[in-house]
Structure 1
Amino acid sequence: MDSFNDQTNMASLLATRRSGKARDMVAPGPDAGQLQAILAAAARVPDHGKLNPWRFVVIDDRAAFSEALMAIYLAGKPDAGRLEREAVTQFATQAPWLVVVISSPKPSHIPRWEQELSVGAACQNLLLAAHAHGFVGNWLTGWAAYDAAVLALLGGAAPERIAGFFFIGSQARPLEERPRPELACVVSRWPA
C-alpha cells in the first residue's frame, strides 16, 4: 500500500472506531494470531522510561472466571438476589474474548501520572487494534475493577489497579453512533 492509502485508511479507522456493547457481541472473535497482534499493537504506546506500566491478562477459562468472580461478589453481598447474580455471570461470560488491562506502576523517577497515561494509551490501542482487525471492543469497569480480591484473582496487588475489562467480538446488530462533542466546545486556542 502506498503512503496516501495508509494515511487514508488510518484516518478512516480513527474516524469510525466505535464501542460495541459487550452483551451484544457474538462469535467469531479474534483467532489466536489476531489476538496476539491486537495485544502487540496495544503494547506499542508512548512509555516514558520504557517501564511497561501495564500488563494484559487474557481470560481463557471464562466459566472458572465467572465462578471465582461470583464467589468474590457473594463474599461482599451474601444476600445478592437472582438478578444481581445473573448480572455477575453475564459480565464474566459475555463476548468471545475478555482481556483485562492492569495498571502496573513501577518505582521510578517517572511520575505515576505519566505511567497512568501510558496505561490509557494501551487501552485505546487495544480497542483500535480490535477495530482494525474487523472486531468491536468494549471497555468496561464496574465493581469488579475496584475490588482488591478481583485484582488478587488476576495476580495483582496494590499499587496495581484494574484499568478495565475489554470485551472483543463481532457485533450481533448494527452499532449506533453516540453524540460526540462539538470541537468548538473542547478545543481552545492560546493566546485567545
Structure 2
Amino acid sequence: MPKADPAVMQFLLSRRSRPAKTLRAPGPDAESQRRILTAAARTPDHGKLEPWRFIVLQGAALPRVARAVEARGVALGKDADTIEKGRVAFANSPFCIAVIEVQKDSPKIPAIEQTYSAGAVCLALLNAALAEGHGANWLSGWASHDRVFVEEALGLAANERVVGFVHIGTETSAPPERPRPDLDAITEWVSE
C-alpha cells in the first residue's frame, strides 16, 4: 500500500496553472526537462500502448511555429485578434511541449481510452512542471485543431492530433485564485 505523502497532497490541493502570457525565459534546463517528460510518461496507459508522444519546442522552433500560426490564420481569414492570440502564445513562450495523441490499433483498448490517456499526459506534464518550480500552462487553441497547420508546422501524421501545448517558463506574476467547483454540487455518493 502506498505511504501517505502530505506534501504531495498539499501540492495537489493548491496547484494553480500560470497564464502563458506571464511566462518568460528562462525555461527549464535540460535536466529539468527530462524529469518533467519522465514524470508525464508515467501516465496511466491501459494496454501499454503509449498512445501519445512529445514534440519539444524550444529555441528557433518557437518563432517558426508562431509564424506558421500567423500565416495559417491569415489563410483561413481569422480576425487579427484571434491570429495574434495564437501567434503570441508561441512567440513569447520560453519552452513548450506539444502532446500528440497517436491512435494505435488495438482489439482491447478503445480509441476513447487512448484519448483519455493522452489528456492525462497533459495534466501530468503541467503538474510536473509546477512541482519543479516553473510556471506552466496547458493550452490548445484553434491552430491545434487545424489539420493543415498541425501537419505542416508540426509534421503530424493522419492518425495524430494535438492534445495540448504545455508552455513552461519563469513566472513573472502570480494569478489571483479563481473559484473552484462546489464539490457537493458535482458529487454523487453511492453506497448500495
Q: TM-score, normalised by structure 2?
A: 0.89
Equivalent positions of 1:76-115 (< 5 A) are 76-77=76-77, 80-81=79-80, 83-109=81-107, 110-115=109-114
Alpha-carbon offset, residue 84 of structure 1? 4.7
Q: What is the aligned partner in structure 1 of residue 145 from structure 2? A: 146
Alpha-carbon offset, residue 191 of structure 1? 4.1
Task: Check whether the contact 1:136–1:169 (CA below 8 A) recurs between aligned residues.
Answer: yes
Q: What is the aligned partner in structure 1 of residue 164 from structure 2? A: 164
Q: Pick closer, same or farther for the CA change 1:86–1:115 going to 2, 3 Å.
A: closer
Alpha-carbon offset, residue 65 of structure 1? 1.7
Q: Which whole-Å CA distance do the structure 1 matches of 2:86 and 2:113 have between them?
A: 33
Q: What is the aligned partner in structure 2 of residue 69 from structure 1? A: 69
Residue 171 of structure 2 aligns to which amino acid in structure 1?
Q
> Does 2:54 correspond to 1:59?
no
Give % identity. Answer: 40
Structure 1, unaligned stretches of length 5 or more?
none
Q: Which whole-Å CA distance do the structure 2 matches of 1:100 and 1:175 have between them?
A: 23
Bigger shift: 68-77 or 128-137? 68-77
Q: What is the aligned partner in structure 2 of residue 37 from structure 1? A: 35
Residue 48 of structure 2 aligns to which amino acid in structure 1?
K
Structure 2, unaligned stretches of length 5 or more?
none
CA-atom RMSD, angstroms?
1.8
Paired residues in the alignment total 186
Q: Which whole-Å CA distance do the structure 2 matches of 1:80 and 1:180 have between them?
A: 32
Residue 12 of structure 2 aligns to which amino acid in structure 1?
L
Q: Which whole-Å CA distance do the structure 1 matches of 2:117 and 2:82 have between them?
A: 34
Alpha-carbon offset, residue 136 of structure 1? 1.8
